[in-house]
Amino acid sequence: MYFEIYRQTRGTLLTGQGQWRWRLRARNHETIASGEAYVNKSDCLHAISLIRGTDDQTPVKEI
């Protein structure tokens, strides 16, 4: 698996054009997770680091 970060090319400044996004891809390159849009690249990378920091002790809550 690997993370990709990219800048949105669609939309307007108010609806996300130019904002940073991430997605997690499987080895076969299928997207298995993605996140919201971030204005700053550093915020996008921070979100990835939070996801990487989870482990099997992280609870799953059903709502």
Q: Is 20 part of any domain?
A: yes
Instruction: List CB contacts of 15: < 8 A, sequence separation 6 or more.
Output: none
Domain containing 8: what range?
Answer: 2-52
Q: Is 30 part of any domain?
A: yes
Q: Is 59 part of any domain?
A: no
Q: Is 58 part of any domain?
A: no
Q: Is 15 part of any domain?
A: yes
Please tell me the predicted confidence (pLDDT) of residue 16.
62
pLDDT single digits (tens) 3-62: 999 998 876 666 667 899 999 999 999 999 999 999 999 999 999 999 988 877 878 778
Task: Indicate the number of domains in the chain.
Answer: 1
Q: Is 62 part of any domain?
A: no
Please tell me the predicted confidence (pLDDT) of residue 13.
62
CATH number at residue 10: 3.30.160.160
pLDDT single digits (tens) 38-51: 999 999 999 999 99
Q: Is 33 part of any domain?
A: yes
Burial of 40 (0-12, 13-18, 19+ CB in 10 A): exposed
